[in-house]
Structure 1
């Protein structure tokens, strides 16, 4: 293994990089004259919405694809003539962690060590600190496919560090993992940078991670929208951020009205109200019909990102962003959140075991008509197992499960399947089929045909702004568009209950906001929504939340009730993420959360 840690100067220098792709809609400029530098021993973040060019840039730097034009220096070397030497000192973790699921933890690490020529006699000394930092030592003989998402994330990081690279490329390393695992990963990376002066280049769709970087580069439609220390961007948003609240009005009902106000660059619900970013450094002008309270609030990086994006794209949506609803939905009761009566979903003492492993342990809660109910938990907490029982894909081991007032514990969910919409983490689309073919397939699977089928497909193509892409293969669409298509397929049959299993994992904040506006509109038509999520920001859009750990319920209530319950003398205004972690700590499950699938 080469010991060269790079020559003096920037660890990475990029000049006028261009990369294009031929698509059914013409030539796409994934990278358009991109230039920046990365100082050695620093952490630099590549931030941007879906389709911005982040992954294309990472693949070019890793030597997986070539640019059309432009120049690069990586660790002081020219990749056109010295790529072999560069690869000896470069680590790369793609979005899916680059693991072989039929190999054990140790075998995956050995494979990466073999690829980089790490001598056998040095491996034990190199592995020991990595296994200790990632808490993988007890699982060294376990197949990586049997690890939870958080553990896979940490194993992927360990594998990319086995040869002590001078430059480490991480392509959205925290997609689909919980806040606990994200916090642990950043502790590992900070330790590694401080110990060995490794340079990190990290792409991410999580805006809160930007503040962990020394420097950020914002990409939008292949171009650099800005670069510099994250605090510089945050300072730009000072005086532009306000919290709007109205007594007895849930933030998700207030948000659509605020979004339409002149001069509003962005708004999103929170447990305390609607966080609003304005184009000018002044509060929004409210009509007499909207007597909301307005309180200035300090900006965070996400506010600055949305402000910068709005200034660039005023009046347009970024590629991958979900559309704002343009018309009323054509199904549902239209009665909004139900008051009283039978709940849409009722779970009592629900338990599911796999051999000796208890995945869901005596779970009890209910979901009201038209309610958005969030299920939170660390990876491996039992959320997806619960969803699979609700969807009829798994039978409970014991307990009671009632859907639309009917007991389906014995597995007779099939009789109610027409009332359920299910959007899984992987979107369950057929990548080889076009957008139109996917919608026709799913509508046919629900027994739709003739004029009703044609009208419904056309309605959803229009509603989700998918008409321009209806003849494109769904597998080639950007993530935000695939998300729209998956949601369209899940509501094709006009369900009364919608199950969303981590629907926005890896989706940028623009698409996430618009997606949740659609979900809120659906719920206000009387459709009940049960959603799992790792984004604490979007969890505040739920009416109530349940926090799970190791299959058990550890907290239940509205977002405000959960944050209020986490108050301490040292922290009188905890965030929802802080409350989430505190409840896991109180339950005694924080250390074990994510260790089991």
Structure 2
């Protein structure tokens, strides 16, 4: 490794207060971040991660304490600091109408990278990010992974000593995420100090060190492995479950010995309050063959433990939603149905003869790399795009002929929150309930119910753009459910949210499914895919694999990888498709 272990960021007693807020966003924070290391910055929504990153970048002045970055005071030496720090914010400022090369030129101008140094930097960065083939493509037409690569290239102009990445992998598929990690590891090996803010704990496990924040304070400062070791004997998996695993999870989360739980394919993973204190297996009613097996703790287990446990397994939302009854003549086996579904854009085929059906009360996942065609498929099933060929039906209604009628049967939660940013929370609730036909006392009662269920009362006069991410998600889900739909479409519903918020969300979804709601979801977060009953993997517009999460993992198993993760399965099945395609050419 080329770099010395230099202290590149040193914070002592750091504090940041904002006017109008009683509590500081960052409080009494002291830490040291070193060169040649990737340091993960993790914590729940509102923990202070982005505020801290902005202070590191010199964009916010600390209220108290001291901070030095690469030897500079970020306030007194802002210009010098900007020459040695690369910063990629959560919403990276790419200009979508400009090409890849034009974006690089713009950022080179801003960083005073000129002449021969510019030419050499562009050549090196385009090769490093594998974007040399796309220099003439507008940034807005890049896939999610390619946009992040371009953002990274722009942040690296000027050869910074410190690289600050705020949620760089949000909305990025597993293949692109691994490429991003490969590039960032190379930078750290060459001596750069990298700070990687993330809400994905599996990602934080890849960091050399982690800084876990909660309530503006540093809750942990050390290596991921050391933190996970604290959970020895407290992580177990419930296997050989008979019957409904969602109901088993709910029962397990009621047990006083269980502080957290998630679904993992046909199994349920639990975190115990104390090592050796296991829940009563009989009370879980998981079947005669069910057994609890100790498993290796994860960083996410320790994270949830540090925060005092997960949100539990009871959904207030499901308690107020009615059970779904199907109209006469609608088959419970085909609530959502695609037959030979195809969509072309000029000479390009985005979706190519995709066929599947989803039963009542089932969670069906659409997975695929960025640009694979899953979003196009998803939009056709929602009635937002008209198929070029084939059929799309929901509740037996043909989306080609009666899209408006079909949309009344479904709720839609878009990837980028289809909320009106300039309307208040209350106004959004009124608007969406009105769109779905609610009027008068019925409308007022439903709005009041959603405000109570999602704890939106303190935010009614706030515009969505000013909401914490977790509350944006709550509002978007509330708006999608105003009319008590039989079908719920979720497009990247938990992208960027922390594990606690993600668990709360899936507790609601699991509860709705128990009421007979049918769910179709797209996601790039593979742990989330484990909640699905079945998954269709879409690549190059075609469905290359389908089955339960465990069936897809079994297809990817090998002597070298006997127990693959869902991410391993995703990557291997896509690679096999590429190999088969090359063999056929």
With the shorter chain as reference, the TM-score category is over 0.9
Change (3 A) 1:323 1:223: farther
Mapped pair 1:232 → 2:226:
yes
CA contact (8 A) 2:254 2:313 kept: no
**Residue in structure 2 matched with residue 17 of structure 1 by the alignment:** 14
C-alpha distance after superposition, 1:42-83 (max 9, x if no partner): 111110111111111111221222222121011112223212
C-alpha distance after superposition, 1:76-124 (max 9, x if no partner): 1222321211111110001122211111111111111111111221222
Pick aligned residue for 1:185 from 173, 176, 180: 180
Pick aligned residue for 1:157 from 152, 155, 168: 152
Matches within 5 A, 1:445-460: 445-460=435-450
CA contact (8 A) 1:376 1:545 kept: yes
Mapped pair 1:32 → 2:23:
no
Matches within 5 A, 1:357-376: 357-376=348-367
Mapped pair 1:425 → 2:420:
no
Change (3 A) 1:334 1:589: farther
Pick aligned residue for 1:258 from 232, 252, 263: 252
Matches within 5 A, 1:264-413: 264-286=258-280, 288-291=282-285, 292-310=290-308, 324-325=315-316, 328-333=319-324, 341-410=332-401, 412-413=402-403
Tell me, what secondary structure is at the counterpart of 1:64?
coil
Change (3 A) 1:28 1:356: farther
**Residue in structure 2 matched with residue 495 of structure 1 by the alignment:** 485
C-alpha distance after superposition, 1:379-416 (max 9, x if no partner): 11112111211222211111111211122234x21012
Gaps (5+ residues) in structure 2? none
TM superposition shift of 1:471: 3.0
**Residue in structure 1 matched with residue 192 of structure 2 by the alignment:** 198
Return the alpha-carbon distance in structure 2 between the equivalents of residues 552 and 392 of structure 1: 20
TM superposition shift of 1:17: 1.5
Gaps (5+ residues) in structure 1? 593-597
Matches within 5 A, 1:142-153: 142-153=137-148
Change (3 A) 1:28 1:380: farther
CA contact (8 A) 1:352 1:361 kept: yes
Change (3 A) 1:67 1:39: same
Return the alpha-carbon distance in structure 2 between the equivalents of residues 381 and 11 of structure 1: 40
Task: Give the alignment's TM-score, normalised by structure 2.
Answer: 0.94
C-alpha distance after superposition, 1:22-56 (max 9, x if no partner): 45xx4342111111111122111110111111111
Task: Give the alignment's TM-score, normalised by structure 1.
Answer: 0.92
**Residue in structure 1 matched with residue 473 of structure 2 by the alignment:** 483
Change (3 A) 1:591 1:40: farther
Matches within 5 A, 1:200-215: 200-215=194-209
Q: State the number of aligned residues.
A: 575
Return the alpha-carbon distance in structure 1 between the equivalents of residues 108 and 3 of structure 2: 20
Return the alpha-carbon distance in structure 2 between the equivalents of residues 274 and 355 of structure 1: 46
TM superposition shift of 1:580: 0.8
Pick aligned residue for 2:168 from 165, 168, 173: 173
Tell me, what secondary structure is at the counterpart of 1:351?
strand
Change (3 A) 1:470 1:550: same
CA contact (8 A) 1:332 1:494 kept: no
Change (3 A) 1:45 1:342: closer
Change (3 A) 1:406 1:10: same
TM superposition shift of 1:9: 4.5
Deviates more, 1:300-309 or 1:137-146: 300-309
TM superposition shift of 1:323: 8.5
CA contact (8 A) 1:346 1:367 kept: yes
Matches within 5 A, 1:459-474: 459-474=449-464
CA contact (8 A) 2:391 2:398 kept: yes
CA contact (8 A) 1:6 1:75 kept: no
C-alpha distance after superposition, 1:118-154 (max 9, x if no partner): 1221222222232122111110111101101110011
Tell me, what secondary structure is at the counterpart of 2:152?
helix
Return the alpha-carbon distance in structure 1 between the equivalents of residues 419 and 580 of structure 2: 34
**Residue in structure 1 matched with residue 84 of structure 2 by the alignment:** 89
